[in-house]
Amino acid sequence: MQELVFQSALREENNMSVLIFDSNGELWHTRAEELGLDYISMPYYVGGEEYFYDLGKATDFKGFYEKVRAGEIPKTQALNPEDYKRILTPYFERGEDVLYVSFSHAMSGTFQSLELALRELKEQFPDRKCTVFNTNSISLGAGIQAEQAALLKQKGASDEEILSFLKEYTDHVAVYFVVDDLMHLKRGGRCSGVAAVAGTLLGLKPMLTFNETGGLSVIGKLNGRKKAISTLANKIVEELTDESIPVYIVDADCKEDGDKLRDLVLEKRPNAKIVRQIVGPVIGAHCGPGTLGVIFTAAKRPIPLNKD
């Protein structure tokens, strides 16, 4: 039932550690394959059917967003301990340790199941370990950290060196996104009903980020779509510190707006390595169609107006 994509053919036999992430990190499947990254496919439900996000390999993005725009309410679900045991056991049986670069633990109860699974697996495989690094982010905010970790591993870095890098780098990952419809956040418990209705009527577009504990926080409120696009572009132009690391511009089924945002950035930062990508169904289930987001390397993680 649970699908885990293996890249074992890309690993050397004497490598005793495997780097993995989850599909909530949203690196495109071809990029994950290039990096030799295994991933845990996270589940979502739409139209009464269960799916597992495969990083875009065979995902029906058009069908998903059409259903949501038509009124379908998608859902997500945490994995259970048995899922994690099934995922991790093959590694341990091969004598491999695991370094898991995960999405924010504040955003899901799935990590409670992971902890339970690891306790049981420790009894069965006392010599093996699974080290979990919490990126305190989600979507490409987590994926960009997994990507940089994988590049280090390809150069021969040890787990300790990778963890040391991530503990410093995570504070330089800037994530900003603007949702088009506040009601999607309301359903996910991220926005009160009154605020959602009032914001929708006033045309306000909240700009959000992830605080230092991985929770969702408001960093600004924008009037209208045009202002949202220009503000996101300016964030990259003004705050990008490392043009050698990709800048991710993501959209939830609003490609034209995402392309416009990209073009605005390139006018002033022509050397930026911009990657355009669609938001996957798991993240899309919570943010809704029309969401725009940017992820890049900055001097520091954004400072929110609040820690809601």
C-alpha distance from residue 49 to each of 1, 72, 194, 253 (Å)? 13, 12, 31, 21
Q: Spell out the per-residue pLDDT of the chain, length 308, in tens.
A: 334 433 343 444 445 799 999 999 999 999 999 999 999 999 999 999 999 999 999 999 999 999 999 999 999 999 999 999 999 999 999 999 999 999 999 999 999 999 999 999 999 999 999 999 999 999 999 999 999 999 999 999 999 999 999 999 999 999 999 998 766 555 555 444 334 333 443 467 788 999 889 988 888 888 888 999 999 999 999 999 999 999 999 999 999 999 999 999 999 999 999 999 999 999 999 999 999 999 999 999 998 765 44
Instruction: Output the pLDDT for position 200.
Output: 47
Instruction: Output the pLDDT for position 216.
Output: 84
Per DSSP, 42 falls in state P
Instruction: Output the pLDDT for position 235.
Output: 97
Instruction: Output the pLDDT for position 220.
Output: 84
Give the closest residue to 293 by CA, choosing from 100, 142, 189. Answer: 142
Instruction: Output the pLDDT for position 146.
Output: 98
What lies within 8 Å, CB to CB, of 29 at 6+ separation is 5, 54, 55, 56, 57
Give pairs for 218-223: CB < 8 Å, separation 24+: 218/304, 218/305, 218/306, 218/308, 219/176, 219/302, 219/303, 219/304, 219/305, 220/305, 222/178
| CATH of segment(s) 4-170 | 3.40.50.10170
Considering the entire predicted model, what is its pTM? 0.90
Burial grade of 44 (CB within 10 A; 0-12, 13-18, 19 or more): buried
Domain ranges of the chain: 4-170, 171-297
Per DSSP, 12 falls in state -
C-alpha distance from residue 301 to each of 198, 207, 261 (Å)? 29, 15, 21
Instruction: Output the pLDDT for position 234.
Output: 97
Q: What is the 3-state secondary structure (H, E, C) of 181-204?
A: CHHHHHHCCCCCHHHHHHHHHHCE
The answer to whether the beta carbons of residues 180 and 290 sit under 8 Å apart is: yes
Give the closest residue to 99 by CA, choosing from 18, 167, 153, 158. Answer: 18
Q: Count the Cβ atoms, other than its own, within 10 Å of residue 235.
A: 22
Instruction: Output the pLDDT for position 185.
Output: 57
Give the closest residue to 63 by CA, choosing from 76, 74, 75. Answer: 74
| CATH of segment(s) 171-297 | 3.30.1180.10
**What's at 172, amino acid-wise?**
H
The answer to whether the beta carbons of residues 289 and 253 sit under 8 Å apart is: yes
Give the closest residue to 137 by CA, choosing from 126, 129, 148. Answer: 148
Question: What would the two tokens of residue 178 be?
Answer: 């603007």
Q: pLDDT by residue (tens digit) across 17-44?
A: 999 999 999 999 999 999 999 999 999 9
Question: What would the two tokens of residue 48 be?
Answer: 């009464």
Question: What would the two tokens of residue 208 be?
Answer: 């959000």
Instruction: Output the pLDDT for position 5.
Output: 38
Give the closest residue to 1 by CA, choosing from 47, 40, 56. Answer: 40
The answer to whether the beta carbons of residues 260 and 235 sit under 8 Å apart is: no
